[in-house]
Amino acid sequence: MDNRISLLSSPYNTAPAMAQARPEETGTGSSQLEQAHETILKEYPKMHSMLVVRSGKLVYEQYYADYHAGSLNDLRSATKSVVSLLTGIAIGRGELSGTHLTVPDALRSYLPAPSDPLLMQLTLRHLLSMTSGFRWITGSKLGEPLVRNLQRSRRWVQFILNLPLDAENIGCFQYRSSDSHLLSVILSEGTGQDAFSYARQHLFGPLGIKHTAWLPSPEGHSMGHIGLSLTSRDIAKLGICLLGGGLYEGRQVIPQSWLEEAFSKQTDGYPAYGDYGYQFWNGRISGQPYVLAHGHGGQQLWLLPELDSAVVFTAESAVSRWRNPRRLLEQHIIPAMNP
């Protein structure tokens, strides 16, 4: 299988079209959103965009530095959440048998010889919920020093499958990018396409997402843990689809049953981010339930289902220190939506 595709794209692209409305038309206070914008100008020098969607319409949009509605954003680990959506689509289409699929059955041609007997216990669900038990190092701010070793390797799958497995940690959450990359490889094995090609056909295409890029691993798989770039408006479109139970313009793009699983607590997460579903964080913020796709530097898609709203933040990703935009929701954006 060699489905590698060119990542060449134009440096400038027109803004993707979206239905828009004034904040007040959706019961949202524009003054509080302006306060969030002013706070970004004063306190968030690395921010690239802030978008607010409510009732299926874009009600607020701001860009910073030299970014604009046609710019691509490096999503970093928010890529993981898109891999989860593609996994759900593939299961819904029968190309993957389900979350009970074992890692050895899915990756038989990659298994080391001899392989750790504990590998037989691992399933797609372990990878989706980051409970595989592969020995890993995770910092308090989700830093992963072993990712550098992985990315220096020419054979990423073998690198991961040769990691020691700790039996006592199988079933226990640890943020682990290696699990996410294996999901992308399993998607390729099950569908015959890399994740980018599969997404363009079954997710991006139906959502009208055309201007995008996704970096491959040395083996030709789309990176499962990072590597996806989207415009801010296309992230917002994705939010509209997810808030609608996977339905977009009358078409069921993502199975609703998958979203219910992916957005639900599957395991305890970390207090600073929330509990963990299938490559999505979840919890409550300012009394509101949320689902979060999160990437380093502040690449975030917040879903606030009870407010029928999605909030998009993008920012500089090549940073060691950054300010989480979560406070903007707590202090300005959610108050703008509460009665």
The pTM assigned to this predicted structure is 0.95
Q: What's the confidence (pLDDT) of residue 140? A: 85
Q: What's the confidence (pLDDT) of residue 11? A: 52
- Per-residue pLDDT averaged across 137-149, rounded? 93
Q: What's the confidence (pLDDT) of residue 59? A: 98
- Per-residue pLDDT averaged across 167-173, rounded? 97
Q: Which residues of 148-182 are buried (b: 16+ CB within 10 A; e: fewer)?
A: eebbebeebbebbbebebeeeeeeebbbbbbbbbb
Measured in degrees and rounded to the nearest 5, phi and psi for residue 193 equal -130, 150
Q: What's the confidence (pLDDT) of residue 13? A: 67
Q: What's the confidence (pLDDT) of residue 9? A: 47
Q: What's the confidence (pLDDT) of residue 6? A: 44
Helix (H), strand (E) at residue 290: strand 288-295
pLDDT digits (tens, 9 = 90+) for 49-67: 999 999 999 999 999 999 9
Environment class of 42 (CB within 10 Å of its CB; exposed 0-12, middle 13-18, buried 19+) = exposed
> What letter does residue 216 receive in the DSSP assignment?
B
Q: What's the confidence (pLDDT) of residue 12? A: 58
Class of domain 23-337: alpha beta
Residues sharing a CB contact under 8 Å with residue 38, sequence separation 6 or more, in sequence order: none
Give 1's pLDDT tier (boundaries 50, 70, 90). very low
- Per-residue pLDDT averaged across 283-288, rounded? 97
pLDDT greater than 50 at residue 3: no
Compute the mean pLDDT over every residue in the chain, rounded to the nearest whole number: 95
- Per-residue pLDDT averaged across 74-93, rounded? 98
Give 15's pLDDT tier (boundaries 50, 70, 90). confident
Residue 72, SS3 per DSSP: strand
- Per-residue pLDDT averaged across 232-240, rounded? 98
pLDDT greater than 50 at residue 127: yes
Environment class of 233 (CB within 10 Å of its CB; exposed 0-12, middle 13-18, buried 19+) = buried
Residue with tokens 């979560």: 326
Token digits of residue 139: 């910092």
Environment class of 273 (CB within 10 Å of its CB; exposed 0-12, middle 13-18, buried 19+) = middle
Give the integer Cα–Cα distance in Å for 316 and 331.
22
Give 14's pLDDT tier (boundaries 50, 70, 90). confident
Q: What's the confidence (pLDDT) of residue 5? A: 46
- Per-residue pLDDT averaged across 295-305, rounded? 98
Q: Which amino acid type is present at position 237?
A: K
pLDDT greater than 80 at residue 205: yes
User: Taking each helix axis from N to C terminus, what angle separates 79-92 and 256-263, rounded to the nearest 10 degrees?
Assistant: 140
Residues sharing a CB contact under 8 Å with residue 225, sequence separation 6 or more, in sequence order: 77, 79, 80, 147, 177, 178, 180, 181
Ranges of each domain in the chain: 23-337
pLDDT digits (tens, 9 = 90+) for 153-163: 999 999 999 99
| Terminal Cα-to-Cα distance of the chain (whole angstroms) | 54
Query: What dihedral do alpha carbons 23, 85, 180, 139 form, nearest 10°?
Result: 20
- Per-residue pLDDT averaged across 152-174, rounded? 96
Give 184's pLDDT tier (boundaries 50, 70, 90). very high
Which residue from 30, 48, 31, 52 is spatially nearest to 40, judged by alpha carbons?
Answer: 48
Give 93's pLDDT tier (boundaries 50, 70, 90). very high
